[in-house]
Structure 1
Amino acid sequence: MTLTVAHRGSLFHLLADPRFKEDCVEFIEDGLLTVSEGVIESMGPADQLLHQLPAGTKVIQHNDAVLVPGFFDLHVHSPQLTTVAIYGEQLLGWLNTIIPEEEAYKDPEIASKRADIFIKEALRNGTTTMAVYGSWAKESVDALFKKADSLNMRFVAGKVMADRNMPAGISLTSPEQDYEDCSSLIDAWHGKGRLSYAVTPRFAISCTREDMNVASRLMGEHDDIYFQTHLSENPKEIEFTLELFPECKSYLDVYDSFGLLGRRSIFGHCIHLEDEDFKRVEETGSVLCPNPPSNFFLGSGLFKFENAKNHNVHVALGTDFGAGNTLSMLSSMENAYKMAQLQGYSLSPWEAFYYATLGGAKALSVDDRVGNFLPGKEADFVVLDKKATPLIEWRMEHARTPADVMFVLMMLGDDRMVRSTYLAGNAVHHRDE
């Protein structure tokens, strides 16, 4: 007999991109979400659904809480656990300080222990899907996939490719080794459960043309893997990149010249793009992924949310932990709002939550499976506590509309707000236990 579990509380999700479609927000003050075998059976007002529940259905009451689809963090670095919140420099100098710490991940025991800590922290923050950069060592990615698979977590990851311009103390790989390691990881993990592989050049500065050709070859050999890298994060980074690839007209054009743009390509940061770049991103269906906590921490600049909207570009959101000093997507949404405000653009709570939920699913081309609460989708969701702190409780007493409620959640929320996290209907984090 199939067991149905019903979760009762306020429900919030999005049905489309609110930048382009009105009336795509659904907020039910007293709602019921029913789950069976990890899949959503129904969602709607509790007074309409309660009498339809099968006999013996377990009803879990989530008082003073809003249930939202699980968060997507589509740009994050797992090997930076020991270097998050290091004081000081902007991008290139900062990288020279933190990258040597990644050497430890060639030890499988260290890689396994830190993968466990990293994923537990993500779940504690309500993140249910991630696109992760491992270290150069394939052991780091093996450990991440093993842990994610044990939890039935939707997880994208790849080992960093870097055959030049790395700081002292880090082992350089070769194009041949990168191809061999990536192919081995793809064979072992891609398509297993809810796991997917991403070809992951650290950035163009760290890869010779031969290594970039390896990335292109891997993408050509596997039509359902992802590509992820960094793009236009820092002015000095851009200048150095164009010195290394003088035949290219822009940083984006470097990746384009190797055939690495497309709907399964996720570019982190993308702060200093020009109009021509936005047009090319739109043409290819590529995904831009700003990381506001990191962009503020390193002083990198402001992502142009309004330009992305005007060019109908796919946008997701990330934390870029550990240049980002948090794994909280609520914090990333908060900082995205502030980033947009500095440019005279008002980022609504609907737009912010879209980037972290359904927009993230669309970025990975899995919006038919996750991203909102439509029946038939996988039951990845988060329970957000409207009384997480005395200030939040007080402010919620004065919230008058769903938009006000969701805006307070994103502006005042952090890991303390995440009461529970569910993967395919199974609780994997309870704050109070």
Structure 2
Amino acid sequence: MPDTTLIAGRILSFDAMPEAAAPTASARVDEALALSDGRIVARGTRAEMLAQFPGAPLDDQGNRIVMAGFVDAHVHYPQTAIIASWGKRLIDWLNSYTFPEEMRFADPAYAGEVAARYLDLTAANGTTTVCSYGTIHPASVDAFFAEAQKRNQRVVAGKTCMDRDTAPEGLRDTAQSAYDDSRALIDRWQGVGRLGYAITPRFSPTSTPEQLEALGALWAQHPTCLMQTHLSEQTDEIDWVMGLYPEARDYLDTYEAHGLLGARGVYGHAIHLEPRERDRLAEVGAALVHCPTSNTFIGSGLFDMGGLLAAGHRIGLATDTGGGSSFSMLRTMAAAYEVGQLRGRALHAAELLWLATAGSAQALHLGACIGTAAPGMEADLIALDPGATPALAQRTARAEDIWDELFALIMLGDDRAIARVWIAGQPLN
């Protein structure tokens, strides 16, 4: 295997989802792994890997922790430039910041500039896969996929669809154009290289029933695509939805009635769910995505991680750039821990790291190719440096075990803790 390379360090991987009663039981720590043709082909002790692949070049990461790159399951790359804008409630935030910025993406050059900047910022923070909303402009999706393609990066994205007058003039499509544009983008990008398409109604308040119906039909015609949208983020949003859809049983029903509920559905936020909604989402195997920095920044509420995990829901983790206040999945994990504390469920470091990698990968139906550092998986990897900053170094020097060290990295780490990033086996730095 002449093109094989070796990486040595503390190689962290998960063989299964951590169980609350024994969160570290499904994790393993090896000394080295072997990469070939963009994939992990073996893992084991350093001596085993050197013996199995004699002469292979060795990238020795020393005491660093090498693991799967982070997977961010719900982002809005067009909001990169407005991240950390002064907080308001969701509807005000959209009208004040999001919609004016998204209008700029009618310019393909601007879309390309922001897409490149966003992917650079997230890679610097150890994120190797994202699932992003575009804007109503097909060029926003073309730009994002083109930039990801340059990096050979696995990403998912879709054209955001909005045809109600609740969205501003200049940022609306129609039921027909949303269908036609999305179908053309699917034909152009779905399954090309490492790219995947997500059919993307922004949320029920900005789509008419006719548009939701059209997108439901499109999803039925292209069932391998994901479908991403927002669900039950804020209580006043729910009131808004019910006013627009008085015949609906609940918020989820506005999607379900139009063919937009299914196993490949990815529903962002999902904070204020009714019992029927919880049951139906679990029944179909849909994914819920926790966006903790966004939920606290915009004052949305506290996600019920403990209850939803116990009920068997598929759950991912996300920054929700730019409603979320950070590009960092380390910061996002820290916020998830803090939200969990407020809900009475203290997540272990193993659970947090699993959510940010394999959990999010599974939410995006990519768990067979990314999300853990195991043989057969694509080699999207990061190396975490426990001594990256003075604050980290003094804390991790006292760590009792690797999990104590990783928890400190989650709580104190930032982009400086990301020592190296590999995408499809190629180092970025």
In the superposition, the TM-score normalised over structure 2's length comes to 0.97
RMSD: 1.3
Partner of 2:393: 393
In structure 1, stretches of 5+ residues that fail to align are none
Tell whether 2:88 aligns with 1:86.
Answer: no
Instruction: Pick closer, same or farther for the CA change 1:165–1:340 going to 2, 3 Å.
Output: farther
Partner of 2:278: 278
Q: Aligned with 1:131: secondary structure? A: strand
Q: Is the 8 A contact 1:165 1:205 kept in 2?
A: no
Structure 2 distance, partners of 1:330, 1:409, is: 8
In structure 2, stretches of 5+ residues that fail to align are none
Instruction: Give the partner amino acid of 1:67.
Output: V
Deviation of 1:396 after TM superposition, in Å, equals 1.0
Tell whether 2:174 aligns with 1:179.
Answer: no
Q: Aligned with 1:258: secondary structure? A: coil
Q: Is the 8 A contact 2:87 2:297 kept in 1?
A: no
Partner of 2:153: 153
Between 1:14-23 and 1:67-76, the stretch displaced more is 14-23
Deviation digits for residues 337-389 of structure 1 (CA, Å, limit 9, x no counterpart)? 00000011111111111111111121122222121122111111111111110
Partner of 1:19: 19
Q: Is the 8 A contact 1:319 1:328 kept in 2?
A: yes
Instruction: Give the partner amino acid of 1:234.
Output: Q
Structure 2 distance, partners of 1:344, 1:360, is: 22
Partner of 1:259: 259
Structure 2 distance, partners of 1:44, 1:418, is: 23
Identical columns (%): 38
Q: Aligned with 2:375: secondary structure? A: coil
Structure 2 distance, partners of 1:296, 1:203, is: 20
Partner of 2:212: 212
- After TM superposition, the structure 1 = structure 2 runs for residues 287-326 of structure 1, keeping only pairs within 5 Å, are 287-326=287-326
Deviation digits for residues 130-174 of structure 1 (CA, Å, limit 9, x no counterpart)? 100011111111000001111111110001100014454543111
Structure 2 distance, partners of 1:388, 1:252, is: 44
Structure 1 outlier segments of 4+, above 4 Å:
none
Deviation of 1:178 after TM superposition, in Å, equals 0.6
Partner of 2:42: 42
Instruction: Give the partner amino acid of 1:307.
Output: G
Tell whether 2:96 aligns with 1:97.
Answer: yes
Q: Aligned with 2:263: secondary structure? A: coil
Residues paired across the two proteins, number: 426
Tell whether 2:235 aligns with 1:235.
Answer: yes
Structure 2 distance, partners of 1:89, 1:258, is: 31
Partner of 1:162: 162
Q: Aligned with 2:325: secondary structure? A: coil
Structure 2 distance, partners of 1:67, 1:118, is: 23
Instruction: Give the partner amino acid of 2:82.
Output: T
Q: Aligned with 1:82: secondary structure? A: helix
Partner of 2:61: 62
Structure 1 distance, partners of 2:167, 2:247, is: 26
Q: Is the 8 A contact 1:73 1:319 kept in 2?
A: yes
Q: Aligned with 1:392: secondary structure? A: helix
Q: Is the 8 A contact 2:166 2:205 kept in 1?
A: no
Instruction: Pick closer, same or farther for the CA change 1:20–1:312 going to 2, 3 Å.
Output: farther
Q: Aligned with 1:406: secondary structure? A: helix
Instruction: Give the partner amino acid of 2:253.
Output: D
Q: Is the 8 A contact 1:40 1:379 kept in 2?
A: yes
Between 1:271-280 and 1:337-346, the stretch displaced more is 271-280
Q: Is the 8 A contact 2:5 2:57 kept in 1?
A: yes
Deviation of 1:82 after TM superposition, in Å, equals 2.1
Partner of 2:118: 118
Tell whether 2:373 aligns with 1:379.
Answer: no
Between 1:255-264 and 1:344-353, the stretch displaced more is 255-264
Q: Aligned with 1:148: secondary structure? A: helix
Q: Aligned with 2:59: secondary structure? A: strand
Deviation of 1:414 after TM superposition, in Å, equals 1.3
Q: Is the 8 A contact 2:13 2:374 kept in 1?
A: no
Deviation digits for residues 66-86 of structure 1 (CA, Å, limit 9, x no counterpart)? 111011101000111221111
Tell whether 2:325 aligns with 1:334.
Answer: no
Deviation of 1:20 after TM superposition, in Å, equals 6.5
Deviation of 1:290 after TM superposition, in Å, equals 1.1
Instruction: Give the partner amino acid of 1:277.
Output: E
Deviation digits for residues 217-262 of structure 1 (CA, Å, limit 9, x no counterpart)? 1101112101000000011100000111111111112111122122
In the superposition, the TM-score normalised over structure 1's length comes to 0.96
Partner of 1:52: 52
Q: Is the 8 A contact 2:213 2:259 kept in 1?
A: no
Instruction: Pick closer, same or farther for the CA change 1:109–1:37 going to 2, 3 Å.
Output: same
Q: Is the 8 A contact 1:35 1:379 kept in 2?
A: yes
Q: Aligned with 2:44: secondary structure? A: strand
Deviation of 1:105 after TM superposition, in Å, equals 0.7
Instruction: Give the partner amino acid of 1:141.
Output: V
Deviation digits for residues 259-299 of structure 1 (CA, Å, limit 9, x no counterpart)? 21222110000111123221111101000001001011001
Structure 1 distance, partners of 2:108, 2:303, is: 37
Q: Is the 8 A contact 1:76 1:133 kept in 2?
A: yes
